[in-house]
Amino acid sequence: MTSTRPAALLAGLALLPAAALGLAACGDDEDGAGAGAITTRTVEVVREAQDGGEAAASASGRTIDAARIYERFGPGVVTVLTQGRGGRQALDSDSGLGSGFVVSDDGLVVTNAHVVTGGEGEKLREADEVFVRFADRNQVPAKILGFDPFNDVALLKVDPRGLRLVPLRFASARSLTVGEPVVAIGSPFGEEQSVSIGVVSALDRSIRSLTGFETVDAIQTDAAINRGNSGGPLLDGDGRVLGINSQIETTSGDGSGVGFAVSAETVRRAVRQLRRDGKVAYPYLGVSTVDVYPQLAKRFGLGVDHGAWVQEVPDGGPGEKAGVRPSNGDAKRFQVAEYRTGGDVVVAIDDQEIRSSTDLAEVALRFRPGQTVTLRVYRDGKPRNVRLTLAERPRVLPR
């Protein structure tokens, strides 16, 4: 499945390239970075008072103790260094630096795919060498077990012998709340073991991937993340991983914009496949859609005020083979965008409701390549069913 949005909404999205290796690192003392590495913002920070009580400030009725989270879970966050042609994030010609975190006692480390690869689509290449540096100064080689270019996730393996590993836990499936305080730990600009704090500023965002497909269910945050934060964790108040910091939307190229993290659920899905198979496989519908909203539906007589309106159906894909109708009319402008008329509006997959293009992508991920599903669509304002056999998502977005 692919989805499209007005181009203006996509402008400025960029992966978080890492800092060059020559940047000075903080937190290289034996006990890791001290309190000076913690960026404080009054509205989110909770610190222990001298008398053992807590001077607490809150965000949306919740509090977060950034210092305690850092002390307990900071050692589980690592710096990922790359050497060779794969280092797309490098500021010098041949090396780069990002972040990551430990997820198991046997040496598994999660980071962003773009930290340890170069290029996009079919031109993606792994870095020649990867090293992982821990807060206690240990630096060891790492093997890339696999990477997911669709969701920007990579799984690394280090030899755990002689290392003190502090695995981080993923947050269990739950409802995040906009305004919930969060902590980001990573190596912005090469400043290792740095902490920033903020809140969840939005949910269910779609962000670009290394393939042209969109990564859905992303978390938007105002916690400061910059070059080098890529691959580091976004943590909740209990120190559990909510997602992997991956992108910023900015006009200046630095962290003055908003950040995006690949959600924990998406990361878990990728890690399960990478650990088992060394690669990922996702279902592919073969349609490109835009969101339907009431005024749009009324203007074009779509027959339903929600769903994913098909604008394009790539040649030879599952959508075309199933007979999904693309928009084939003239482009017409409405409000701030142009739309092509005549396409189906998808409102359900196997009775699972679709209210937007993001829903379409998320629901499709509940199925496997090769499964046959029933699409409920509105065509010419009337409902009908279309049987479609899902394919495996190609490495490059078909055009």
Give Cα separations from 107 to 55, 157, 217, 271, 276 (angstroms): 37, 5, 28, 14, 15
The single residue of 65, 148, 152, 236 carrying the catalytic annotation is 152
The single residue of 95, 99, 230, 356 carrying the catalytic annotation is 230
| Long-range contacts formed by 72-76: CB under 8 A, 24+ apart | 72/239, 73/166, 73/168, 73/185, 73/235, 73/239, 74/32, 74/33, 74/135, 74/185, 74/193, 74/195, 75/32, 75/134, 75/135, 75/136, 75/164, 75/166, 76/101, 76/102, 76/165, 76/166, 76/167, 76/168
Compute the distance between CA of residue 145 and CA of residue 141 in angstroms, rounded to an integer: 13
Within 67-115, strands assigned E span 77-83, 95-102, 108-111
The single residue of 3, 95, 114, 288 carrying the catalytic annotation is 114
Gyration radius from the chain CA atoms: 22
* Half-sphere CA count of 368, side-chain side, radius 13 A: 3
Asked if 263 is an active-site residue, the reply is no
Strands 143-148 and 194-208: unpaired
Q: In this structure, which amino acid lies at residue 169?
A: R
Structure tokens at 50: 């001298």
**What's the farthest any 2 CA atoms get from each other in the chain?**
71
Structure tokens at 391: 């394919």
Compute the distance between CA of residue 366 and CA of residue 207 in angstroms, rounded to an integer: 19
Name the strand (E) or helix (H) holding 338: strand 337-340
Asked if 230 is an active-site residue, the reply is yes
Asked if 104 is an active-site residue, the reply is no
Compute the distance between CA of residue 73 and CA of residue 235 in angstroms, rounded to an integer: 9
Compute the distance between CA of residue 77 and CA of residue 167 in angstroms, rounded to an integer: 9
Q: Which residues, 6+ apart, have CB-to-CB distance to 290 below 8 Å?
A: 3, 4, 5, 308, 309, 311, 337, 339, 357
Compute the distance between CA of residue 387 and CA of residue 385 in angstroms, rounded to an integer: 7
Active-site positions?
Answer: 114, 152, 230
